Amino acid sequence: HDASMIICVDFSESALYDLEQELKRKHPATDYRFIITDIRNEVLLQNIFEEYNPHFIYHAAAYKHVPLMEQFPWEAVHTNVYGTMSLVKLAVKYKAERFVFISSDKAVNPTSVMGATKRLAEIIVQSYSSARTATSFVVTRFGNVLGSNGSVVPLFKKQIQNGGPVTVTH
């Protein structure tokens, strides 16, 4: 997008550090800001929007591990639903051009807490897309992305290295 600045926000210190190293190596001429925060912290999010007034927002922050979210459903609701709602409201308030929400294939007829919270987040984003705002909203659903954080490939590799078995869920 020929961005003048890219602001990367993450809760995971290690993931943000790795991203910083990769981006600075691959695109050293681009201006970056790397910010550790939690999308559940509305005050810190407000500060980020106030300082940087982003034009494009790519929202991929979420809890995504189905079994863990069954154990800790409130965490899934707090992050996946309320965190998304906070970001959407800030995008509208600061008149971001575009808001892209990365959802999950688990949001289709959800059968788990994680899928249900991602579906609720989709509904929030969709409800704002039908409102008259300066912000254009987009929802996209990803399935398992090979090699991504939480992908099955590293899990399968570990299982094979440990002599198996390789587990496959339905």
In degrees rounded to 5, what are phi and psi of residue 25?
-75, -45
Which residue among the candidates 106, 118, 157, 158 is catalytic per the annotation? 106
Judge whether 106 counts as a catalytic residue: yes
83 residue type, one letter: G
Token reading at 127: 């409800």
Q: In what side-by-side order are the strands of the sheet with 136-142?
A: 56-59, 98-104, 136-142
C-alpha dihedral (80, 46, 124, 143), degrees to nearest 10: -40
Q: Which residues are catalytic?
A: 106
